């Protein structure tokens, strides 16, 4: 059994590489990294701090939805229509949930929209949903393509058995 801090790729006892899906430790490091990137961008890169409000903390559950959806996707084969269908469904649901959490929390806790009601806010942000979804699916498509290439070039076992290695 692998520990959650083990490497991303490990060689099994038959000499074949297996993909390792990281857990909470990696998620925590990625959250810290995201916060540091925002800090540097705001303090050194001339990026506006307009979004840094009490709602900023809700990016943690937003990112958690996507991260753990990715781990859930790892339980399905990339190389079957059924597996890709399940992965696509999980990605659609997780991306929608992440959009709702991040935008809904900004509306509720940022203090920037006291003058409008929730329906009006929803109408304003709805124009951003499809691009948000499209970019997420684009990134995931790129990752799936890279994983397919890795499987073929590095003899990587992309979890065809359905067993996720933590």
Model confidence pLDDT, tens digit, residues 14-49: 555 455 556 788 899 999 999 999 999 999 999 999
Kindly state whether residue 150 falls inside one of the protein's structural domains: yes
3 located within any domain: no
Residue 135: which domain range? 9-157
pLDDT at residue number 85: 92
What confidence score (pLDDT) does residue 71 get? Answer: 83
- Residue 56 domain-assigned (yes or no): yes
Residue 126 belongs to a domain? yes
Domain count, the chain: 1
4 belongs to a structural domain: no
Please report whether residue 162 resides in a domain: no
Domain membership flag for residue 103? yes
Q: What is the pLDDT of residue 20?
A: 54
**Residue 2: pLDDT over 60:** no
- Considering only 42-46, 85-89, 120-124, 161-165, which range has the smallest mean pLDDT? 161-165
pLDDT at 4 over 80: no
- 109 domain-assigned: yes
Write out pLDDT tens, residues 99-147: 999 999 999 999 998 888 889 988 989 999 999 999 999 998 898 888 7
Smallest CA-to-CA distance from 104 within 157, 61, 151 is with 61
């Amino acid at each position: 059994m692998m520990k959650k801090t083990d490497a991303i790729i490990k060689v099994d006892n038959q000499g074949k590489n297996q993909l390792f899906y990281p857990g909470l430790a990696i998620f925590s490091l990625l959250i810290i990294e995201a916060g540091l990137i925002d800090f540097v961008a705001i303090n050194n890169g001339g990026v506006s701090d307009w979004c840094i409000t009490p709602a900023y903390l809700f990016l943690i559950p937003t990112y958690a939805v996507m991260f753990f959806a990715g781990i859930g996707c790892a339980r399905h084969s990339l190389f079957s229509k059924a597996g890709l269908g399940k992965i696509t469904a999980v990605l659609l649901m997780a991306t929608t949930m992440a959009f709702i959490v991040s935008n809904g929390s900004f509306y509720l806790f940022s203090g920037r929209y006291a003058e409008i009601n929730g329906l009006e806010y929803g109408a304003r942000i709805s124009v951003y949903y499809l691009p948000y979804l499209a970019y997420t699916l684009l990134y995931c498509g790129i990752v799936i393509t890279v994983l397919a290439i890795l499987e073929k070039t590095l003899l990587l076992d992309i979890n065809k058995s359905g067993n996720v290695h933590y």
